[in-house]
């Protein structure tokens, strides 16, 4: 069997494939992929690569609301990007990201993600750039500054549209677990 790339919304994956994706992500992140991380990866569009052993790579894009300079944007937020340990450095992450970027280009004002130090090279090589402004979240008590996210939040233009400028903060919607 050769590698096959697939794209589908969460509801079409079914319980068996969702379980396989979760197991692969748990292994890929060495047990550091929490229940909240998994919840964040659901409800959008998934791209994944399957090989003869099962899920080899995965990522998803979900909709987030982001306030910037008095405007609310629909943003394609990338989640759950991982590659099985035995298939790393073969371009599978790039194949998954190409599909997610296609979704972002067709449906969102721009793309955003929070990258680990290990993952940042994949995203910058694909044209994602580090956000140079403030990162905040609209929390239960109001707007909260998230300085720890300011060195790991990346953005990408969607469909040739202009990105917002860093003079004003990106204010993300609130969620349980890691906000970004």
Q: Where are the domains of the chain?
A: 4-173
- State what percent of residues in the chain have pLDDT above 90: 91
Taking the C-alpha atoms of residue 47 and residue 6, their distance in angstroms, rounded to an integer, is 6
At 127 the pLDDT is 96
At 177 the pLDDT is 87
CATH of domain 4-173: 3.40.630.30
Closest CA relative to residue 46, chosen from 1, 2, 14, 85? 14
At 2 the pLDDT is 85
The answer, yes or no, to whether residue 1 has pLDDT greater than 80, is no
Q: What pLDDT digit, counting tens, does each position of 70-109 carry?
A: 999 999 999 999 999 999 999 999 999 999 999 999 999 9
At 115 the pLDDT is 96
Q: Is the dihedral of CA 152, 156, 112, 49 positive or negative?
A: negative
What is the Cα 5 distance to its own chain's centre?
Answer: 17
Q: What pLDDT digit, counting tens, does each position of 103-148 carry?
A: 999 999 999 999 999 899 999 999 999 999 999 999 999 999 999 9
Residue 167 carries which DSSP code? T
| CA distances in angstroms from 55 to 103, 116, 134, listed in the order given | 20, 21, 36
Q: What pLDDT digit, counting tens, does each position of 32-82 carry?
A: 999 999 999 999 999 999 999 999 999 999 999 999 999 999 999 999 999
- Mean predicted lDDT score pLDDT of the chain: 95
The answer, yes or no, to whether residue 7 has pLDDT greater than 90, is yes
Residue 69 carries which DSSP code? T
What is the Cα 178 distance to its own chain's centre?
Answer: 13
């Amino acid at each position: 069997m050769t590698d096959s790339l697939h794209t589908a919304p969460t509801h079409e994956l079914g319980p068996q494939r969702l379980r396989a994706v979760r197991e692969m992500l748990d292994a890929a992140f060495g047990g550091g992929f929490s229940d909240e991380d998994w919840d964040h990866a659901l409800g959008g569009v998934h791209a994944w690569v399957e090989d003869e052993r099962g899920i080899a790579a995965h990522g998803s894009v979900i909709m987030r609301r982001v306030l910037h300079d008095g405007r609310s944007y629909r943003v394609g937020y990338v989640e759950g990007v991982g590659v099985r340990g035995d298939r790393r450095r073969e371009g599978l992450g790039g194949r998954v990201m190409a599909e997610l970027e296609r979704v972002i280009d067709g449906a969102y004002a721009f793309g955003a993600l929070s990258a680990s130090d290990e993952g940042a090279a994949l995203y910058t090589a694909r044209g994602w750039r580090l956000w140079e402004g403030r990162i905040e979240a609209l929390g239960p008590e109001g707007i909260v500054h998230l300085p720890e996210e300011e060195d790991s939040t990346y953005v990408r233009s969607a469909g040739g549209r202009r990105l917002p400028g860093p003079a004003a903060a990106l204010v993300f919607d609130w969620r349980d677990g890691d906000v970004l």
